[in-house]
């Protein structure tokens, strides 16, 4: 694949997980043409159709992120491509009471939403920053969290908790990497019209104010390099943005305090 850099987007080669549907697919289609892409998902046919099925500047790797062997294989393949961007958009969730939901589904939720996200980020992030620095550009990390990350979510307890983890993890990384050539984002969409709700067990598209995934992707692309926590609809932005400012101040204070304590 050719190495391309584009004005307006710091990264030149980006891995997008969950690229076969929903927000992941919409993000891939917005990024296509701005950077070389590596797309991954578990649905072979849907992954092949992403980005209009185009192959110029687009490579596809089928992988199930709930499977540790697939995660390790994907990380090794992607490291060899020297990416400088990572979009963790893959996600799972199951609607229902925790004590009634099948344990396999809840374990898969944690495996994809938390373990795969952390594992891929740790495997790729050092090389991403190095590649960006070598190229004289900026690396990119987008982790798809949720507006649910800010509240307890009965009937969706493990999913909500997993997204709270993603939000906190990403905010902490943004503080730790503040002096590095990388743009870090926690994308926190509200209700979105995608296949996620159907797979989880409810009609997400019927919720008031639900946005198409393309609108969510547009909001994310516009915010790259400008915001760490990004909301996609006015209601959640109004309600939650003040909280993100306070969280960022606390994170920065903790980061500085730990650095000072280590020097003693």
CATH code, 128: 3.40.50.720
For the stretch 135-189, pLDDT in tens is: 999 999 999 999 999 999 999 999 999 999 999 999 999 999 999 999 999 999 9
The tally of domains found in the chain comes to 1
Average pLDDT, the chain: 92
* Out of 33-42, 100-109, 208-217, least confident range: 208-217
Q: Classify residue 174: in a domain, yes or no.
A: yes
Q: Is residue 209 part of a domain?
A: yes
Report pLDDT for 1: 32
5 in a domain, yes or no?
Answer: no
Residue 2 is assigned to a structural domain of this protein: no
Catalytic residues: 159
Distance of CA 139 to the CA centre of its chain: 14
On whether residue 8 sits in a domain, the answer given is: no
Q: Which domain holds residue 56?
A: 13-263
Residue 58 counted as domain residue: yes
Does residue 1 lie in a domain region? Answer: no
pLDDT tens digits, one per residue of 79-133: 999 999 999 999 999 999 999 999 999 999 999 999 999 999 999 999 999 999 9
pLDDT at 28 over 60: yes
């Amino acid at each position: 694949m050719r190495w391309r850099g584009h004005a307006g987007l710091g990264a030149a080669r980006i891995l997008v997980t969950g690229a076969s549907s929903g927000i992941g697919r919409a993000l891939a289609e917005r990024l296509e043409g701005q950077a070389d892409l590596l797309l991954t998902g578990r649905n072979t046919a849907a992954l092949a159709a992403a980005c209009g099925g185009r192959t110029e500047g687009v490579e596809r790797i089928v992988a199930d992120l709930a499977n540790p062997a697939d995660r390790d294989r994907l990380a090794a393949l992607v490291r060899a491509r020297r990416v400088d961007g990572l979009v963790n958009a893959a996600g799972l969730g199951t609607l229902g009471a925790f004590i009634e939901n099948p344990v396999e589904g809840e374990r898969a939720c944690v495996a994809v939403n938390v373990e795969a996200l952390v594992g891929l980020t740790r495997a790729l992030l050092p090389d991403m920053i190095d590649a960006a620095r070598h190229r004289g550009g900026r690396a990119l990390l987008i982790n798809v969290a949720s507006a649910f990350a800010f509240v307890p979510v009965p009937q969706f307890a493990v999913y909500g908790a997993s997204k709270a983890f993603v939000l906190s993890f990403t905010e902490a990384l943004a503080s730790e990497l503040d002096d590095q050539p990388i743009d870090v984002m926690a994308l926190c969409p509200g209700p979105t019209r995608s296949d996620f709700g159907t797979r989880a067990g409810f009609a997400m598209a019927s919720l008031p104010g639900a946005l198409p995934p393309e609108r969510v992707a547009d909001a994310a692309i516009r915010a790259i390099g400008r915001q760490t926590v990004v909301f996609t609809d006015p209601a959640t932005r109004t309600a939650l943005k003040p909280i993100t400012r306070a969280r960022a101040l606390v994170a920065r204070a903790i980061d500085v305090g730990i650095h000072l304590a280590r020097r003693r």
